[in-house]
């Protein structure tokens, strides 16, 4: 039953990820433009060039803000990561011993009940 729940969560996460792939690509492109415009803004000495790079940077910042649904896509990526991690997790084997001296409390409880 646990694997079925992980399968359902993984399916939902994959659907959400695919639905938000466009905003995620748009966010990545706008952040790259913002980074490049900031670097060019800091590198240039001309006032006119600084104004142009600032305008480009503000446009990229507004484009980044408009791609807010990409945050949901990033959460879906994290959900898929957790599901895959839990799916591949192995349960530790518990070895039951018949030696009465290793599990004294268990044997004592059995003696008290009988």
For the segment 39-85, what is each residue's pLDDT rounded down to a tens digit? 999 999 999 999 999 999 999 999 999 988 888 888 889 988 998 89
Residues 12 and 26 in one domain: no
Residue 103 per-residue DSSP state = S
Does any domain span residue 75? yes
Number of residues that this document lists for the chain: 114
For the chain, state the CA radius of gyration. 28
Query: Number of folded domains in the chain?
Result: 2
Range of the domain at 43: 22-66
Owner of token pair 């803000």: 65
Answer yes or no: is 40 within a domain. Answer: yes
Q: Are residues 55 and 38 in the same domain?
A: yes
The model's pTM is: 0.65
CA distances to 24, 36, 39, 67 from 70, in Å: 5, 21, 24, 6
pLDDT category at 99 given cuts 50, 70, 90 is low
Give kind and range of the element (H or E) at residue 32: helix 21-43
Tell me whether residue 109 is in a domain.
Answer: no
In a domain, 39, yes or no: yes
């Amino acid at each position: 039953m646990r694997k079925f729940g992980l399968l359902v969560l993984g399916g939902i996460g994959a659907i959400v990820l695919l639905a938000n792939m466009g905003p995620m690509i748009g966010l990545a492109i706008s952040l790259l433009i913002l980074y490049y415009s900031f670097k060019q803004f800091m590198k240039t000495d001309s006032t006119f060039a600084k104004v142009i790079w600032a305008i480009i940077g503000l446009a990229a910042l507004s484009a980044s803000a408009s791609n807010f649904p990409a945050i949901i896509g990033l959460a879906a990526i994290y959900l898929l990561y957790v599901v895959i991690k839990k799916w591949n997790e192995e349960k530790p084997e518990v070895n039951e011993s018949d030696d009465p001296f290793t599990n004294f409390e268990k044997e004592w409880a059995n003696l008290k009940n009988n």
